[in-house]
Amino acid sequence: MSIFLDTGKIEEIEKYLKLGVLRGVTTNPTLIFRAGVTGGKDQIKKRLIEIATLIKPLPLSLEVNTNNKEKMIEEARDFASWSDNINVKIPIHGPNGELVNLEVINELENKYDVRINVTAMMSAQQCFLAALAGASYVSLFGGRVNNMGYNTIEEIKKIRTLLDDTKLKAKIIMGSTREVLNVVEWLVAGAHIVTVSPNLLEGMIVHPYSKETVQTFLSDALKI
């Protein structure tokens, strides 16, 4: 059971690496932009290599920027060449339901030996098919599933049972985490990994009653 940090900021990664609680990092173009990276592809590449080097041997998942078959394969192979701890995120299908993505996932994993994290999935059935195609990671967007009125925990249980019974290699990553509560309940339900933003990770650590207790201890120590 692991926690991955979802960010593009070096200082945030360094902060939580020092605490010893991270087992990986995920990012995407939006998070890289929010981290203040500008200047085109060269600067994006520089930042991603910097993150991969910083967290090595822990995995870094980063996302392709196209849905064209040949370009996805080319981009994914390029990303993977930057560092051996890079996994490439590819959506389960295209923006209009194009099925070529599964073909790309299968080819990258089984022909080019690129580790793939299949993203943007909302159901156990999608995750199972991605795992059958050869994916190393299957990312279920739990917060969005809950928002649609479905129970994410039931989807996790179903996909974990399928993966265990068929002995497929894929690990379940839970994304779109909205509440501190989600992290432990999703891990207990069978997820291998939950991605969290820095504010959620801090919320897992800092508790108001813990603060109150420590303040009392320190105050009483001074009185003594």
List residues with catalytic annotation: 89
Instruction: Identify whether the C-beta of residue 123 lies closer than 8 Å to the C-beta of residue 148.
Output: no
The helix/strand/coil state of 104 is helix
Q: What is the C-alpha separation between 151 and 209, in angstroms, rounded?
A: 30
CA distances from 20 to 58, 92, 191, 215 (A): 12, 32, 20, 25
Tell me the residue ranges of DSSP E strands in 72-164. 86-91, 116-121, 137-141
223: which 2 tokens?
């009185």
Number of neighbours of residue 52 by Cβ within 10 angstroms:
21
- The residue written with tokens 């392709």 in the block is 64
